[in-house]
Amino acid sequence: MKKTIIFFFIFIITHSVANSQDVYQIDTVDTGITKSIRMKIPDGVDKVEGILIMGNPWQGSVMYFVDNAIANEFARSINFVIMGTSLWGRFKVAEEFDLFEFCIDSLAQMSGHPEISDAPFIFFGCSNGGQMAHSYNSIHPEKCIAFLVDKGGYYINPIPDTMALRTPGLLVAGELDEQYRIDAINDLFYNNRSRGALWSHILNQGVGHTLMAETHNLFLILAEAAYRLRYPLDQTPVNGSVTLRNLHENDGWLSDSTTWDSGIVGVFNHGDYPGNIDSASWHINKDLAFLFAAHSSYNRMNNKASLSANIADSGDIVTYNFEPDIDWDSIHVFNKSEKIGAYYGGGLSSIDFNYTVRETGFSALFAKVYLTSGDSSVFNLDVVFVRGDIEPNSIDDETVQLDKITSHSLYPNPSTGLVNIRFVKQELRNIEVLDLSGNIIINTISSGLHSQIYIKEKGLFIIRITQPDVIIIDKVVLR
Protein backbone atom coordinates (compact mmCIF):
# COMPACT_ATOMS: atom_id res chain seq x y z
CA MET A 1 0.00 0.00 0.00
CA LYS A 2 1.29 3.46 -0.85
CA LYS A 3 -0.33 6.86 -0.55
CA THR A 4 0.87 10.41 -1.07
CA ILE A 5 -0.46 13.60 0.49
CA ILE A 6 0.55 17.03 -0.77
CA PHE A 7 0.36 20.05 1.53
CA PHE A 8 0.36 23.45 -0.24
CA PHE A 9 2.35 21.82 -3.06
CA ILE A 10 5.45 22.04 -0.84
CA PHE A 11 5.34 19.03 1.49
CA ILE A 12 5.04 15.48 0.19
CA ILE A 13 4.62 12.59 2.64
CA THR A 14 4.90 9.03 1.37
CA HIS A 15 3.85 5.91 3.28
CA SER A 16 4.78 2.36 2.38
CA VAL A 17 4.76 -1.02 4.11
CA ALA A 18 7.70 -3.38 3.77
CA ASN A 19 8.28 -6.57 5.76
CA SER A 20 5.51 -5.62 8.23
CA GLN A 21 7.26 -2.35 9.04
CA ASP A 22 5.80 1.07 8.30
CA VAL A 23 8.04 3.45 6.39
CA TYR A 24 7.21 7.14 5.94
CA GLN A 25 9.05 9.85 4.08
CA ILE A 26 8.52 13.60 4.00
CA ASP A 27 10.07 15.78 1.29
CA THR A 28 10.05 19.56 1.49
CA VAL A 29 11.55 22.26 -0.70
CA ASP A 30 13.61 24.85 1.18
CA THR A 31 15.60 27.54 -0.69
CA GLY A 32 15.41 25.42 -3.82
CA ILE A 33 16.69 22.24 -2.13
CA THR A 34 14.51 19.18 -1.54
CA LYS A 35 15.15 18.12 2.06
CA SER A 36 13.84 14.79 3.28
CA ILE A 37 13.33 12.69 6.41
CA ARG A 38 12.60 8.97 6.17
CA MET A 39 11.12 7.20 9.20
CA LYS A 40 10.64 3.52 9.94
CA ILE A 41 8.49 2.15 12.74
CA PRO A 42 10.01 -1.24 13.65
CA ASP A 43 7.67 -4.20 13.80
CA GLY A 44 6.16 -4.56 17.26
CA VAL A 45 6.45 -0.89 18.26
CA ASP A 46 2.88 0.09 19.16
CA LYS A 47 3.58 3.21 21.21
CA VAL A 48 6.63 5.23 20.26
CA GLU A 49 8.90 6.26 23.14
CA GLY A 50 11.71 7.97 21.25
CA ILE A 51 13.57 8.68 18.01
CA LEU A 52 16.92 7.23 16.88
CA ILE A 53 18.04 9.58 14.11
CA MET A 54 21.11 9.82 11.89
CA GLY A 55 21.84 13.22 10.31
CA ASN A 56 23.14 13.54 6.77
CA PRO A 57 26.58 14.74 5.62
CA TRP A 58 26.77 18.00 3.67
CA GLN A 59 24.78 17.67 0.42
CA GLY A 60 24.28 13.98 1.19
CA SER A 61 21.73 11.46 2.37
CA VAL A 62 21.62 8.78 5.05
CA MET A 63 17.99 7.77 4.59
CA TYR A 64 19.32 4.22 4.12
CA PHE A 65 20.00 4.19 7.87
CA VAL A 66 16.39 3.14 8.54
CA ASP A 67 17.30 -0.28 7.11
CA ASN A 68 20.38 -0.82 9.30
CA ALA A 69 19.83 -4.22 10.94
CA ILE A 70 21.54 -3.49 14.28
CA ALA A 71 19.81 -0.12 14.58
CA ASN A 72 16.45 -1.77 13.92
CA GLU A 73 16.95 -4.32 16.68
CA PHE A 74 18.12 -1.64 19.11
CA ALA A 75 15.23 0.70 18.24
CA ARG A 76 12.69 -2.11 18.52
CA SER A 77 14.02 -3.10 21.94
CA ILE A 78 13.36 0.38 23.36
CA ASN A 79 10.23 1.24 21.30
CA PHE A 80 11.96 3.92 19.22
CA VAL A 81 11.41 4.83 15.58
CA ILE A 82 14.38 5.18 13.22
CA MET A 83 14.97 8.22 11.02
CA GLY A 84 17.52 9.15 8.38
CA THR A 85 17.79 12.56 6.72
CA SER A 86 18.78 13.95 3.33
CA LEU A 87 20.21 17.35 2.29
CA TRP A 88 19.56 19.19 5.56
CA GLY A 89 21.99 21.82 6.80
CA ARG A 90 23.30 22.22 10.31
CA PHE A 91 20.28 24.33 11.38
CA LYS A 92 22.34 27.49 11.00
CA VAL A 93 19.17 29.59 10.72
CA ALA A 94 16.11 29.26 12.95
CA GLU A 95 13.81 28.87 9.95
CA GLU A 96 15.50 25.62 8.92
CA PHE A 97 15.19 24.18 12.41
CA ASP A 98 11.53 25.23 12.57
CA LEU A 99 10.98 23.46 9.25
CA PHE A 100 12.73 20.35 10.57
CA GLU A 101 10.44 20.28 13.61
CA PHE A 102 7.40 20.83 11.39
CA CYS A 103 8.44 17.78 9.34
CA ILE A 104 8.78 15.67 12.50
CA ASP A 105 5.30 16.78 13.62
CA SER A 106 3.91 15.98 10.16
CA LEU A 107 5.39 12.47 10.27
CA ALA A 108 3.86 12.04 13.72
CA GLN A 109 0.38 12.93 12.48
CA MET A 110 0.62 11.01 9.22
CA SER A 111 1.79 7.84 10.95
CA GLY A 112 -0.95 7.91 13.55
CA HIS A 113 1.66 8.30 16.29
CA PRO A 114 1.20 11.86 17.59
CA GLU A 115 3.46 10.97 20.54
CA ILE A 116 6.44 11.27 18.17
CA SER A 117 6.16 15.06 18.48
CA ASP A 118 7.07 14.84 22.18
CA ALA A 119 9.52 11.94 21.90
CA PRO A 120 13.16 12.43 22.99
CA PHE A 121 16.00 11.98 20.48
CA ILE A 122 19.18 9.94 20.20
CA PHE A 123 20.93 12.01 17.51
CA PHE A 124 24.15 11.23 15.67
CA GLY A 125 25.90 11.60 12.35
CA CYS A 126 29.16 12.19 10.52
CA SER A 127 30.37 15.57 9.22
CA ASN A 128 27.30 17.81 8.81
CA GLY A 129 25.24 15.07 10.49
CA GLY A 130 27.24 15.51 13.67
CA GLN A 131 26.78 19.26 13.39
CA MET A 132 23.02 18.66 13.20
CA ALA A 133 23.22 16.52 16.33
CA HIS A 134 25.12 19.20 18.24
CA SER A 135 22.67 21.87 17.09
CA TYR A 136 19.69 19.81 18.19
CA ASN A 137 21.20 19.24 21.63
CA SER A 138 22.00 22.95 21.93
CA ILE A 139 18.44 23.94 21.06
CA HIS A 140 16.51 21.12 22.77
CA PRO A 141 18.79 19.57 25.44
CA GLU A 142 15.69 18.57 27.42
CA LYS A 143 14.78 16.18 24.58
CA CYS A 144 18.25 14.79 23.78
CA ILE A 145 19.28 11.51 25.45
CA ALA A 146 22.75 11.34 23.86
CA PHE A 147 24.53 12.72 20.78
CA LEU A 148 27.55 12.12 18.55
CA VAL A 149 29.67 14.75 16.79
CA ASP A 150 31.83 13.01 14.18
CA LYS A 151 34.30 15.11 12.14
CA GLY A 152 32.22 18.24 11.58
CA GLY A 153 33.87 21.65 11.38
CA TYR A 154 31.16 24.25 12.09
CA TYR A 155 28.95 24.60 15.16
CA ILE A 156 26.22 27.20 15.56
CA ASN A 157 26.56 27.34 19.34
CA PRO A 158 30.06 26.25 20.42
CA ILE A 159 29.40 27.35 24.02
CA PRO A 160 25.87 26.03 24.66
CA ASP A 161 23.73 26.56 27.74
CA THR A 162 24.54 24.52 30.83
CA MET A 163 21.63 22.14 30.30
CA ALA A 164 23.14 21.00 26.99
CA LEU A 165 26.32 19.98 28.82
CA ARG A 166 24.35 17.37 30.77
CA THR A 167 23.64 15.33 27.64
CA PRO A 168 26.24 12.56 27.27
CA GLY A 169 28.18 13.23 24.09
CA LEU A 170 30.93 11.60 22.02
CA LEU A 171 33.07 14.03 19.96
CA VAL A 172 35.27 12.48 17.28
CA ALA A 173 37.88 14.02 14.96
CA GLY A 174 40.01 12.36 12.28
CA GLU A 175 43.80 12.61 12.56
CA LEU A 176 44.12 13.14 8.79
CA ASP A 177 41.12 15.45 8.42
CA GLU A 178 41.39 19.16 7.58
CA GLN A 179 43.02 21.01 10.48
CA TYR A 180 40.10 23.42 10.90
CA ARG A 181 37.77 20.49 11.60
CA ILE A 182 40.19 18.99 14.13
CA ASP A 183 40.53 22.38 15.82
CA ALA A 184 36.76 22.93 15.88
CA ILE A 185 36.12 19.61 17.62
CA ASN A 186 39.05 20.07 20.02
CA ASP A 187 37.73 23.50 20.99
CA LEU A 188 34.19 22.21 21.34
CA PHE A 189 35.40 19.52 23.73
CA TYR A 190 37.97 21.37 25.86
CA ASN A 191 36.00 24.63 26.16
CA ASN A 192 32.95 22.76 27.42
CA ARG A 193 34.50 19.89 29.34
CA SER A 194 35.98 22.53 31.67
CA ARG A 195 32.40 23.78 32.16
CA GLY A 196 31.26 20.31 33.26
CA ALA A 197 30.18 18.78 29.93
CA LEU A 198 29.61 15.03 30.22
CA TRP A 199 31.48 14.44 26.96
CA SER A 200 34.34 12.32 25.65
CA HIS A 201 36.76 13.05 22.81
CA ILE A 202 38.59 10.85 20.29
CA LEU A 203 41.13 11.59 17.55
CA ASN A 204 40.85 8.61 15.16
CA GLN A 205 44.37 7.59 14.17
CA GLY A 206 45.03 7.50 10.44
CA VAL A 207 41.47 8.56 9.55
CA GLY A 208 40.43 11.52 7.43
CA HIS A 209 36.98 12.95 6.77
CA THR A 210 35.19 9.63 6.70
CA LEU A 211 32.64 7.63 8.64
CA MET A 212 33.92 4.74 10.79
CA ALA A 213 31.35 2.03 11.50
CA GLU A 214 33.19 1.16 14.73
CA THR A 215 32.74 4.72 16.00
CA HIS A 216 29.01 4.59 15.37
CA ASN A 217 28.74 1.20 17.07
CA LEU A 218 30.53 2.65 20.09
CA PHE A 219 28.03 5.51 20.11
CA LEU A 220 25.06 3.12 20.00
CA ILE A 221 26.42 1.40 23.12
CA LEU A 222 26.74 4.84 24.75
CA ALA A 223 23.17 5.60 23.67
CA GLU A 224 21.90 2.35 25.21
CA ALA A 225 23.61 3.14 28.52
CA ALA A 226 22.27 6.71 28.45
CA TYR A 227 18.77 5.43 27.73
CA ARG A 228 18.91 2.99 30.65
CA LEU A 229 19.95 5.72 33.07
CA ARG A 230 18.10 8.76 31.74
CA TYR A 231 14.71 7.51 30.55
CA PRO A 232 12.17 7.43 33.41
CA LEU A 233 10.18 4.22 33.87
CA ASP A 234 6.94 6.03 34.63
CA GLN A 235 6.86 8.42 31.66
CA THR A 236 6.03 8.16 27.97
CA PRO A 237 5.51 10.77 25.23
CA VAL A 238 1.98 9.42 24.84
CA ASN A 239 1.22 11.54 27.91
CA GLY A 240 3.30 14.55 26.88
CA SER A 241 6.93 15.58 27.32
CA VAL A 242 9.36 13.13 28.96
CA THR A 243 11.57 14.54 31.73
CA LEU A 244 14.97 12.91 31.24
CA ARG A 245 17.03 12.18 34.34
CA ASN A 246 20.23 14.12 34.90
CA LEU A 247 23.52 12.26 35.20
CA HIS A 248 26.26 13.37 37.58
CA GLU A 249 29.93 14.06 37.00
CA ASN A 250 31.17 12.03 39.98
CA ASP A 251 29.23 8.92 38.93
CA GLY A 252 31.22 8.50 35.72
CA TRP A 253 34.62 7.19 34.69
CA LEU A 254 37.42 9.24 33.17
CA SER A 255 40.10 8.60 30.57
CA ASP A 256 43.37 10.36 29.88
CA SER A 257 43.58 11.62 26.29
CA THR A 258 47.33 12.20 26.57
CA THR A 259 47.84 8.43 26.57
CA TRP A 260 46.31 7.81 23.11
CA ASP A 261 49.68 7.30 21.42
CA SER A 262 51.65 5.74 24.27
CA GLY A 263 49.95 2.38 24.66
CA ILE A 264 46.44 1.55 25.77
CA VAL A 265 44.48 4.63 26.91
CA GLY A 266 44.37 4.94 30.70
CA VAL A 267 40.88 4.77 32.27
CA PHE A 268 39.97 5.49 35.89
CA ASN A 269 37.11 5.49 38.34
CA HIS A 270 36.26 9.18 38.78
CA GLY A 271 37.64 9.43 42.31
CA ASP A 272 40.91 7.77 41.29
CA TYR A 273 41.78 10.01 38.32
CA PRO A 274 45.34 11.34 38.79
CA GLY A 275 45.14 14.35 36.47
CA ASN A 276 43.01 17.38 35.70
CA ILE A 277 39.42 16.26 35.17
CA ASP A 278 38.69 19.41 33.13
CA SER A 279 40.57 17.90 30.19
CA ALA A 280 39.65 14.24 30.78
CA SER A 281 37.04 12.43 28.72
CA TRP A 282 33.94 11.53 30.75
CA HIS A 283 32.19 8.17 30.44
CA ILE A 284 28.85 6.99 31.82
CA ASN A 285 30.34 3.86 33.39
CA LYS A 286 33.26 1.47 33.47
CA ASP A 287 32.03 -0.42 30.39
CA LEU A 288 32.07 2.70 28.23
CA ALA A 289 35.49 3.69 29.58
CA PHE A 290 36.97 0.34 28.55
CA LEU A 291 35.35 0.46 25.11
CA PHE A 292 36.53 4.04 24.64
CA ALA A 293 40.09 2.90 25.37
CA ALA A 294 39.75 0.02 22.91
CA HIS A 295 38.59 2.39 20.17
CA SER A 296 40.79 5.43 20.82
CA SER A 297 44.18 3.82 21.56
CA TYR A 298 46.78 4.23 18.81
CA ASN A 299 48.58 1.47 16.89
CA ARG A 300 45.63 -0.88 17.16
CA MET A 301 45.42 -4.12 15.22
CA ASN A 302 42.62 -2.79 13.02
CA ASN A 303 40.68 -5.22 10.82
CA LYS A 304 42.39 -8.14 12.54
CA ALA A 305 39.31 -9.23 14.47
CA SER A 306 35.71 -10.03 13.59
CA LEU A 307 32.55 -11.55 15.05
CA SER A 308 30.62 -14.40 13.47
CA ALA A 309 27.31 -12.56 14.03
CA ASN A 310 26.20 -9.05 14.92
CA ILE A 311 22.66 -9.98 15.97
CA ALA A 312 21.89 -12.93 18.23
CA ASP A 313 19.45 -14.33 20.76
CA SER A 314 20.22 -14.93 24.42
CA GLY A 315 22.07 -18.23 24.76
CA ASP A 316 23.59 -18.12 21.25
CA ILE A 317 27.30 -18.71 20.80
CA VAL A 318 29.22 -16.13 18.77
CA THR A 319 32.80 -16.56 17.63
CA TYR A 320 35.31 -13.73 17.98
CA ASN A 321 38.18 -14.41 15.60
CA PHE A 322 41.43 -12.46 15.89
CA GLU A 323 44.72 -12.83 14.11
CA PRO A 324 47.83 -11.64 15.93
CA ASP A 325 50.49 -11.26 13.27
CA ILE A 326 53.34 -10.26 15.62
CA ASP A 327 55.04 -11.95 18.56
CA TRP A 328 52.85 -11.82 21.66
CA ASP A 329 53.05 -12.95 25.28
CA SER A 330 49.39 -12.83 26.25
CA ILE A 331 45.98 -11.88 24.86
CA HIS A 332 43.05 -10.93 27.09
CA VAL A 333 39.51 -10.97 25.69
CA PHE A 334 36.85 -8.61 27.07
CA ASN A 335 33.13 -8.08 26.75
CA LYS A 336 32.98 -4.39 27.62
CA SER A 337 34.86 -4.17 30.94
CA GLU A 338 34.50 -7.87 31.85
CA LYS A 339 37.45 -10.11 31.10
CA ILE A 340 36.01 -13.29 29.55
CA GLY A 341 39.10 -15.15 28.37
CA ALA A 342 42.88 -15.18 28.05
CA TYR A 343 45.65 -16.84 26.05
CA TYR A 344 49.29 -17.12 27.11
CA GLY A 345 52.58 -18.13 25.55
CA GLY A 346 52.17 -16.84 22.01
CA GLY A 347 52.57 -19.04 18.97
CA LEU A 348 49.02 -18.88 17.61
CA SER A 349 48.40 -16.71 14.55
CA SER A 350 44.62 -17.18 14.41
CA ILE A 351 42.32 -17.66 17.39
CA ASP A 352 38.59 -18.43 17.53
CA PHE A 353 37.11 -17.45 20.88
CA ASN A 354 33.58 -18.78 21.45
CA TYR A 355 31.34 -16.73 23.72
CA THR A 356 27.77 -17.31 24.86
CA VAL A 357 25.80 -14.05 24.83
CA ARG A 358 23.09 -13.65 27.46
CA GLU A 359 22.08 -10.17 28.58
CA THR A 360 19.69 -8.28 26.32
CA GLY A 361 21.26 -5.32 24.52
CA PHE A 362 24.75 -4.72 23.19
CA SER A 363 27.73 -6.92 23.87
CA ALA A 364 31.05 -5.55 22.62
CA LEU A 365 34.13 -7.73 22.32
CA PHE A 366 37.73 -6.64 21.99
CA ALA A 367 41.13 -8.00 23.03
CA LYS A 368 44.19 -6.48 24.69
CA VAL A 369 47.51 -7.81 23.45
CA TYR A 370 50.78 -7.75 25.37
CA LEU A 371 53.74 -8.19 23.02
CA THR A 372 57.12 -9.81 23.60
CA SER A 373 58.66 -6.40 22.90
CA GLY A 374 57.00 -5.06 26.05
CA ASP A 375 54.49 -2.96 24.11
CA SER A 376 50.73 -3.41 24.19
CA SER A 377 47.98 -3.11 21.61
CA VAL A 378 44.26 -3.65 21.09
CA PHE A 379 42.24 -5.58 18.54
CA ASN A 380 39.37 -3.56 17.08
CA LEU A 381 36.10 -3.93 18.96
CA ASP A 382 33.06 -5.52 17.36
CA VAL A 383 29.47 -5.60 18.60
CA VAL A 384 26.61 -8.04 18.77
CA PHE A 385 23.08 -7.02 19.69
CA VAL A 386 21.23 -9.59 21.80
CA ARG A 387 17.51 -9.46 21.03
CA GLY A 388 14.97 -8.67 23.72
CA ASP A 389 13.35 -5.76 25.50
CA ILE A 390 15.60 -3.21 27.17
CA GLU A 391 14.12 -1.47 30.20
CA PRO A 392 15.30 1.77 31.83
CA ASN A 393 16.91 1.25 35.22
CA SER A 394 14.31 1.36 37.99
CA ILE A 395 15.78 4.41 39.73
CA ASP A 396 14.62 7.93 40.24
CA ASP A 397 16.36 11.16 41.20
CA GLU A 398 15.71 10.54 44.90
CA THR A 399 17.51 7.22 44.64
CA VAL A 400 20.52 8.62 42.82
CA GLN A 401 20.84 11.74 44.95
CA LEU A 402 22.16 10.31 48.20
CA ASP A 403 20.53 11.19 51.47
CA LYS A 404 23.12 12.82 53.69
CA ILE A 405 22.38 10.40 56.52
CA THR A 406 23.06 7.22 54.57
CA SER A 407 26.51 5.87 53.83
CA HIS A 408 25.75 4.39 50.44
CA SER A 409 23.12 3.84 47.75
CA LEU A 410 22.75 0.68 45.67
CA TYR A 411 20.86 0.66 42.34
CA PRO A 412 19.17 -0.63 40.30
CA ASN A 413 17.63 -3.19 42.63
CA PRO A 414 16.42 -5.58 41.22
CA SER A 415 19.09 -5.64 38.50
CA THR A 416 19.78 -7.66 35.37
CA GLY A 417 23.53 -7.75 36.06
CA LEU A 418 25.10 -4.33 36.51
CA VAL A 419 24.88 -2.88 40.06
CA ASN A 420 25.94 0.66 40.97
CA ILE A 421 27.04 1.61 44.48
CA ARG A 422 27.42 5.29 45.43
CA PHE A 423 29.12 6.50 48.61
CA VAL A 424 29.03 9.79 50.48
CA LYS A 425 32.79 10.02 50.92
CA GLN A 426 36.01 8.73 49.41
CA GLU A 427 37.87 6.12 51.41
CA LEU A 428 39.45 2.72 50.83
CA ARG A 429 36.88 -0.07 51.07
CA ASN A 430 36.52 -3.75 50.24
CA ILE A 431 33.35 -4.79 48.38
CA GLU A 432 32.30 -8.45 48.43
CA VAL A 433 29.34 -10.21 46.83
CA LEU A 434 28.23 -13.41 48.57
CA ASP A 435 25.62 -15.98 47.62
CA LEU A 436 23.17 -17.28 50.23
CA SER A 437 25.55 -20.10 51.11
CA GLY A 438 28.19 -17.57 52.15
CA ASN A 439 30.46 -18.16 49.14
CA ILE A 440 32.30 -15.04 47.96
CA ILE A 441 31.73 -14.69 44.20
CA ILE A 442 33.14 -11.16 43.77
CA ASN A 443 35.85 -9.43 45.80
CA THR A 444 37.09 -5.99 44.77
CA ILE A 445 38.71 -2.86 46.19
CA SER A 446 37.34 0.66 45.71
CA SER A 447 38.17 4.13 46.96
CA GLY A 448 35.96 6.45 44.86
CA LEU A 449 32.44 7.77 45.25
CA HIS A 450 31.03 5.33 42.71
CA SER A 451 31.65 1.63 42.12
CA GLN A 452 30.14 -0.85 39.70
CA ILE A 453 29.93 -4.60 39.93
CA TYR A 454 28.53 -7.12 37.46
CA ILE A 455 26.84 -10.27 38.78
CA LYS A 456 26.29 -13.00 36.19
CA GLU A 457 24.10 -15.34 38.24
CA LYS A 458 20.44 -14.83 39.14
CA GLY A 459 18.93 -14.77 42.61
CA LEU A 460 19.43 -12.95 45.94
CA PHE A 461 22.95 -11.86 46.88
CA ILE A 462 24.54 -10.23 49.91
CA ILE A 463 26.72 -7.14 49.43
CA ARG A 464 29.33 -6.75 52.19
CA ILE A 465 31.23 -3.44 52.23
CA THR A 466 34.13 -3.23 54.66
CA GLN A 467 35.31 0.30 55.46
CA PRO A 468 37.86 1.47 58.06
CA ASP A 469 35.19 2.27 60.63
CA VAL A 470 32.23 0.10 59.69
CA ILE A 471 31.02 -3.03 57.90
CA ILE A 472 27.89 -2.46 55.77
CA ILE A 473 25.58 -5.31 54.78
CA ASP A 474 23.10 -4.87 51.94
CA LYS A 475 21.33 -7.16 49.46
CA VAL A 476 20.48 -7.12 45.77
CA VAL A 477 18.18 -9.22 43.61
CA LEU A 478 19.38 -10.34 40.16
CA ARG A 479 16.75 -11.39 37.66
Question: pLDDT tier at 367 (50, 70, 90 boundaries)?
Answer: very high
Q: What average pLDDT does this structure show over 76-100?
A: 96
65 contacts: CB under 8 Å, gap ≥ 6:
54, 71, 82, 83, 84
Q: Is it the case that residue 114 has pLDDT exceeding 80?
A: yes
- Position 438 scores a pLDDT of 79
- Position 8 scores a pLDDT of 39
Q: Is it the case that residue 12 has pLDDT exceeding 90?
A: no
Q: Is it the case that residue 298 has pLDDT exceeding 80?
A: yes
Q: Is it the case that residue 469 has pLDDT exceeding 80?
A: no
Question: pLDDT tier at 452 (50, 70, 90 boundaries)?
Answer: confident
Model pLDDT for residues 380-418, shown as the tens digit of each residue: 889 999 998 887 875 444 333 333 334 677 878 888 888
- Position 321 scores a pLDDT of 94
Question: pLDDT tier at 2 (50, 70, 90 boundaries)?
Answer: very low
Q: What average pLDDT does this structure show over 422-437?
A: 82
Pick from 123-137, 139-153, 188-202, 395-409: least confident = 395-409
Q: Is it the case that residue 282 has pLDDT exceeding 60?
A: yes
- Position 145 scores a pLDDT of 98
Confirm whether pTM is higher than 0.85: no
Residues of the chain with pLDDT > 70: what percent? 93
Model pLDDT for residues 177-202, shown as the tens digit of each residue: 999 999 999 999 999 999 999 999 99
- Position 10 scores a pLDDT of 53
Q: What's the mean pLDDT when you consider all of the chain?
A: 89
Model pLDDT for residues 45-63, shown as the tens digit of each residue: 999 999 999 999 999 999 9
